[in-house]
Every structure is written in structure tokens, then in C-alpha cells.
């Protein structure tokens, strides 16, 4: 009988009740795991590490989204990025691209069957390989920068060593590393040149040994074509995430070959996946016209990035270096920039004349490149993070709360600003008092207007930038003496970073960024330094007049 093993007084009903009780306890424990206290997602500057965000649950049925628990975090303003370089050379749709670790070179692949290695600074083509098939859908740079991998409709992943010998035939040294039973959709080297991950239309991912071409591990679990993958950014790199036509994003353990987490909230194909810089989450872009953020520790979706006006699919996604921004390329020819915390769109980037098929942020976060079906790649600079660090370091030095030794750039800025302050002390102090009396308490917004007036004649140089920092340092000192907290100095640094690092990123890129600033003043001879300082002092006078003018008319 079915009840032979039951003890006396036990019935099937009592066992069923006990089973339900245990099930409820397991659900409660799972809910507790969703209560994760964590750092604010990649906020710029100090918010990156000091603003805790608690991922709470409002109940098992409806967990709280990221933008709800980040409602007190300051929103990012609108900004504009401009194309610095357009890379032309492909004869058909650009399908994939990847950055080299040296932050300068790019590899791209196209429907024309060509793989091209570019110098992103000069737009020169350094290498070009013609594949035996068209639709080269995947390409990747080796960590050493000495090889590139690619593949597509040939169902193979081929590795080409790079050499600067123009007479050497790269195709002759090609290695056929991987072989799938359907097209190759994505590939990525692990943390060395010796292993490579591939994804395929045969519904599998695989790990291969580059030297021998031996299959090391296969990953089965997708029910349809696998379209994308991304390796975790950790040192060990033992996990990766994949997405496919089955609407699933799956996280894999490379050692065991097992799927350790699976997410299925998209309503259509997942075209792109990208790990958050910390490795604790990943974003996905889908044909359902949305991007989504999944927290691996909370084991669930925490944010959706979409608007009713966006009706075309998202083809590629990537994070800024800090993680605060999510760049997403769409089939409507645009790139949308999302505030990861707030879930709001902060910018739309135009320029491509056909769908954006691929995009990647450079390893140092100072630029990102996008590829399109219009046959081109576009390289856009962004120096916000570097500019914020310089501005915050300088302001902290001015108010005496510096927590770490200043960088070389900050030291040079402090020295130049000190000399300027001594020479133009009366004029700067007069401007400062007028500014404080007219602009309280919205100093950040007014400071940006002053910066815009400072370059109203279309001229920007290092001298004017030094004058801006000098005035901002005096402003920070005055506000600090009146009891203003760190939030105020953070806002001033944010304002400078948004203006110089984003809106004037093109000028910074043309002048070597902040490394160019350091070299310019450090390597100058005495006569050249005198000339530069005169330029800076003249800019300070112009800055004062322009600043007072804009303040007095408002």
C-alpha cells in the first residue's frame, strides 16, 4: 500500500502540510537573499563608493526596481558627444568591432568579408584580411594585442597573428581554432591569448585552446541560436554570459560547463550582453526595443531601459567605465545613452545613416566606437571621468580635505592656479563676491553658464582652463568656510567634468587629454611658460568680464 512506510498517526495530509510549510520557508529564505545592501551603481566621483543603495523587496510578487531605490541620487544632466573620427574602408555592413588593450587600435569585421585593424587616432588602416566567406559576424582582439580572431558564415573561428612586416602574408599564418555546425555569431579571448570563447547559431557556446584547436568545454542549454556572449571582468574570468534567440540570458561556469543562472524576461531575441564593470550584474539589448539590467547577487532583473517612442530593437550595449552610463545602439540609426541608476535617457547620439550594429567603450573609458550598416565606424571621445578626478582632486586640495596624494596633473594645476591667484587676486575676489551674491544657492548651473561665456568667442586653450580652475577653487574655499558640505564641492567638480569632459571632449582629444596638459606645462621652457601664463592671465580677465556680464543680466 502507499501508506506502508508511514509512522503511526501520520497521514498523507500531514505530510502534504509539512511539505507546504518547508516550501514556504524556502521562499522566505530566497526573499531574504534579495535584500542586498550594495554600493550605488557606478556613480561618478565619490558617489561611486560612498552612497549605499539597498535593493529591497516590496514583497515576493512585485520587487522594487533600481530607479525606485535610487530616487535620492542626483540625476545626470543632458550632454552631447560628437564624432571625432569616421573610419571608412569597409565595402558593406559593419557587423562587429573590438578595442585593443592599448586603447588605440580597433578591429572590425564586415559583410564584405574583410577584417580591418585601425588606428583609432589617425584612422589609418594597419592591417586588412579578406576572409574566404562574406558575413564576418564576429571579431575580437587578443589581450596581448598581437592577434585577432574572427569568424562568421564559415562556421569557424580563425586567429590571425599581427605583424608590422608589410611583406608578410597574414593569411598564411592563419589558425583555424574552432568549428561549429552553424554560423559563428560571437567570439572573445579569455584573459590570455591561449583560450577563446565562441558562440554559434547551432545553439551552443564553446571554449577552445588556441594553439591546438582542441575543444576544452562546451556549453549546452540554449534552445535556439546563441547571438552574443561576454566574459566576466574578474581576474580569474571563470564565468561568462550569453544571449540568444530563445529570449534567454544565461550565465555559465567555464570550469564545469554548467549554466549557473538563467534570466528570461525579454520578449524577443537578445542581441547583446555586457557585464557591468564590477562583474556583479550585466545588461542586455533585445529586439523587443528594450535594454535590461540583471543583478547576479539578487538573481533577478533590476531595471528596464525603454521608452514608448523607441520601437526598434537594441543591437548592442556597453557601459561607461564607471558604470553610470549605458550606451545602446538601435536599429533606428541612433545610440541612446541611459542613466543606469535613474533609468532615464540622458542623450541621443546621431550620425549613422543606417542601423547601429555594434559599439564598444574603450578600455580606459575615454572614447567609444560604433559600427553601422552604413559601412562606417565612428569614434567619439569622452573625458568625463578623467576631468572629474582632476577637478575633484584640485578642489579637495583647495579646501584642505584631500584624502590621497594629488596626481601629477593636479599638482601642476595647483601650481599654475596659485601663481594666477597671486597675480589677479583682486579681480578674482571681486568676481567671486559678485558670483556668490547673485547665484546662491544654484552654483553649479550658474558656473556652467559662466564657462559657456568664457568660450563664447569660440576659443578654448589651457590658459582659460587654468583660469576656470582657479576661480572654482576660490569658490569652493569660500563655500567651505561657510559650512558647505562635500556635496557642494562634488557638484562643482561634476559641473566642470560635464562641460570640459563631455561637451569639450573633442578639444581635449585634439590636445592629448589631461596627459597633454601635463606635458604642455611640464616640458615648457621658461620663455614658453611665460607666454602660456600670459595667455592664462589674459583669459582670467576675459573670464571675469564674461562672468560678471552673465550674472548681472540675470
| Structural domain spans, the chain | 85-382, 386-552
Give how far Cα 207 sits from Cα of 175, 198, 241, Å: 15, 7, 13
User: Taking a C-beta distance cutoff of 8 angstroms, is the pair 159, 210 a contact?
Assistant: yes
Cell readout for 550 is 552673465
Residue 45 pLDDT level (bands cut at 50, 70, 90): very low
Cell of 416: 599654475
Cα–Cα dist 453/459, whole Å: 11
In the numeric block, the cell 578595442 is attached to 99
Q: Using pLDDT thresholds of 50, 70 and 90, give the confidence band for residue 383.
A: confident
Q: How big is the CA angle at 84 (ends 504 and 141), to the nearest 5 degrees?
A: 120
CB 348 within 8 A of CB 334: yes
Query: Can you read off the three cell numbers belonging to residue 463?
Result: 590658459
Query: Averaged over 431-459, what is the pLDDT?
Result: 76
Q: Are 271 and 249 in contact (CB under 8 A)?
A: no
In this prediction, residue 50 carries a pLDDT of 27
What radius of gyration do the chain's Cα atoms show?
27
* Secondary structure (3-state) at 456: coil
The sheet that has 105-110: what strands, in order across it? 94-99, 105-110, 114-119, 125-130
* Model pLDDT for residues 329-353, shown as the tens digit of each residue: 999 999 999 999 999 999 899 999 9
What dihedral do alpha carbons 334, 335, 337, 343 form, nearest 10°?
70
What is the strand order of the sheet 215-220 is part of?
184-189, 195-200, 204-209, 215-220
Residue 170 has pLDDT above 60, yes or no: yes
DSSP secondary structure letters along 244-258: ETTS-EEEEETTT--
Distance CA 202, CA 220 (A): 10
Task: Pinpoint the alpha helices (H) of 34-134.
Answer: 47-50, 66-69
* Among 120, 95, 100, 97, CA closest to 110: 95
* pLDDT at 199 exceeding the cut of 50: yes
Omega cis (within 30) before 441: yes
- pLDDT band at 304; cut points 50, 70, 90: very high
In the block, cell 608578410 appears at 168
Q: How confident is the model at residue 4 (pLDDT cuts 50, 70, 90)?
A: very low
Is 190 in contact with 196 (CB distance < 8 Å)?
A: yes
Cα–Cα distances (Å) from 37 to 33, 245, 324, in that order, read 10, 34, 18
Identify the three-state secondary structure at position 119: strand
The highest-confidence range among 370-374, 433-437, 471-475, 521-525, by mean pLDDT, is 370-374
Write out the three cell numbers for 203. 545553439
- What percent of the chain lies above the pLDDT cut of 70? 82
For residue 26, report the phi and psi dihedrals to the nearest 5 degrees.
-60, -40
Task: Please state the rounded mean pLDDT for residues 109-138.
Answer: 93
- Helix, strand, coil abundance in the chain, percent, nearest 5: 30, 30, 40
Residue 60 has pLDDT above 60, yes or no: no
Set of cell numbers at residue 37: 545592501
Q: How far apart are CA 233 and CA 230, in angstroms?
A: 9
Instruction: Identify the residue whose cell numbers are 564598444.
Output: 360
Three-class SS state of 243? strand
Helix (H) or strand (E) holding 96: strand 94-99
Distance of CA 380 to the CA centre of its chain: 13
For residue 251, the cross-strand partners are: 241, 261
Report the distance separating Cα 49 and Cα 484, nearest Å. 21
Q: What percent of the chain has pLDDT over 90?
A: 49
H-type alpha helices, 408-525: 408-423, 425-439, 443-454, 462-481, 486-496, 505-510, 513-522
Q: Check residue 462 and give its pLDDT.
A: 87
In which band, very low, low, confident or very high, does the pLDDT at 540 lie, cut at 50, 70 and 90? very low
pLDDT class of 526 with cuts at 50, 70, 90 = very low
Grid look-up 568545454 returns 217
Dist CA 509 CA 381 (whole Å): 7
What superfamily would CATH give domain 386-552? Blc2-like (1.10.437.10)
Give the CATH class of 85-382: mainly beta
Burial zone of 249 (CB within 10 Å; 0-12 exposed, 13-18 middle, 19+ buried): buried
Q: What is the mean pLDDT of residues 445-453?
A: 79
Q: Closest Cα to residue 548, out of 445, 469, 417, 446?
A: 446
Amino acid at each position: 500500500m502507499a501508506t506502508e512506510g508511514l509512522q503511526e498517526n501520520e497521514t498523507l495530509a500531514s505530510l502534504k502540510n509539512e511539505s507546504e510549510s518547508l516550501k514556504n520557508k524556502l521562499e522566505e529564505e530566497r526573499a531574504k537573499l534579495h535584500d542586498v545592501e550594495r554600493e550605488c551603481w557606478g556613480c561618478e566621483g565619490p558617489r561611486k563608493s560612498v552612497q549605499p543603495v539597498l535593493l529591497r523587496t516590496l514583497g515576493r510578487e512585485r520587487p522594487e526596481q533600481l530607479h525606485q531605490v535610487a530616487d535620492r541620487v542626483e540625476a545626470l544632466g543632458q550632454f552631447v558627444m560628437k564624432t571625432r573620427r569616421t573610419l571608412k574602408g569597409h565595402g558593406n555592413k559593419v557587423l562587429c568591432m573590438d578595442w585593443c588593450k592599448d586603447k588605440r587600435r580597433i578591429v572590425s569585421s564586415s559583410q564584405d568579408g574583410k577584417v580591418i585593424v585601425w588606428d583609432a587616432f589617425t584612422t589609418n588602416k594597419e592591417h586588412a584580411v579578406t576572409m574566404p566567406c562574406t558575413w564576418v559576424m564576429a571579431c575580437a582582439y587578443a589581450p596581448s594585442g598581437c592577434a585577432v580572431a574572427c569568424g562568421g558564415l564559415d562556421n569557424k573561428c580563425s586567429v590571425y597573428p599581427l605583424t608590422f612586416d608589410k611583406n608578410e602574408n597574414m593569411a598564411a599564418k592563419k589558425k583555424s581554432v574552432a568549428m561549429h555546425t552553424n554560423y559563428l555569431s560571437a567570439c572573445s579571448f579569455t584573459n590570455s591569448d591561449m583560450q577563446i570563447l565562441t558562440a554559434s547559431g547551432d545553439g551552443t557556446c564553446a571554449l577552445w585552446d588556441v594553439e591546438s584547436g582542441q575543444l576544452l568545454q562546451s556549453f549546452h542549454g540554449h534552445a535556439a541560436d546563441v547571438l552574443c556572449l561576454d566574459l566576466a571582468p574578474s581576474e580569474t574570468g571563470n564565468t561568462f554570459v550569453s544571449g540568444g534567440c530563445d529570449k534567454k540570458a544565461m550565465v555559465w561556469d567555464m570550469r564545469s560547463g554548467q549554466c549557473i543562472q538563467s534570466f528570461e524576461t525579454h520578449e524577443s531575441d537578445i542581441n547583446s550582453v555586457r557585464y557591468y564593470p564590477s562583474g556583479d550584474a550585466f545588461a542586455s539589448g533585445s529586439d523587443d526595443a528594450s535594454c535590461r539590467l540583471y543583478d547576479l547577487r539578487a538573481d533577478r532583473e533590476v531595471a528596464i531601459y525603454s521608452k514608448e517612442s523607441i520601437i526598434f530593437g537594441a543591437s548592442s550595449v556597453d557601459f561607461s567605465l564607471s558604470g553610470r552610463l549605458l550606451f545602446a545602439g538601435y536599429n533606428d540609426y541612433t545610440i541612446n545613452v541611459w542613466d543606469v541608476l535613474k533609468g532615464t535617457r540622458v542623450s541621443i547620439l546621431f550620425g549613422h545613416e543606417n542601423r547601429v550594429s555594434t559599439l564598444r567603450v574603450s578600455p580606459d573609458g575615454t572614447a567609444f566606437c560604433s559600427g553601422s550598416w552604413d559601412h562606417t565606424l565612428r569614434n567619439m571621445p569622452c573625458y568625463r571621468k578623467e576631468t572629474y578626478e582632476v577637478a575633484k582632486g584640485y578642489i579637495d586640495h583647495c579646501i584642505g580635505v584631500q584624502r590621497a596624494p594629488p596626481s601629477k596633473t593636479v599638482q601642476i594645476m595647483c601650481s599654475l592656479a596659485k601663481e594666477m591667484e597671486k597675480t589677479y587676486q583682486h579681480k578674482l575676489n571681486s568676481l567671486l563676491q559678485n558670483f556668490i551674491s547673485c547665484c546662491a544657492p544654484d552654483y553649479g548651473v550658474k558656473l556652467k553658464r559662466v564657462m559657456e561665456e568664457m568660450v563664447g568667442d569660440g576659443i578654448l586653450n589651457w590658459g582659460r582652463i587654468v583660469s576656470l580652475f582657479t576661480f572654482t577653487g576660490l569658490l569652493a574655499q569660500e563655500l567651505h568656510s561657510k559650512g558647505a558640505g562635500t556635496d557642494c564641492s562634488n557638484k562643482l567638480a561634476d559641473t566642470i567634468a560635464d562641460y570640459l569632459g563631455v561637451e569639450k571632449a573633442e578639444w581635449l582629444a585634439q590636445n592629448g587629454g589631461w596627459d597633454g596638459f601635463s606635458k604642455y606645462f611640464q616640458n615648457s621652457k621658461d620663455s614658453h611658460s611665460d607666454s602660456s601664463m600670459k595667455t592664462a592671465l589674459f583669459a582670467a580677465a576675459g573670464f571675469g568680464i564674461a562672468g560678471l556680464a552673465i550674472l548681472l543680466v540675470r
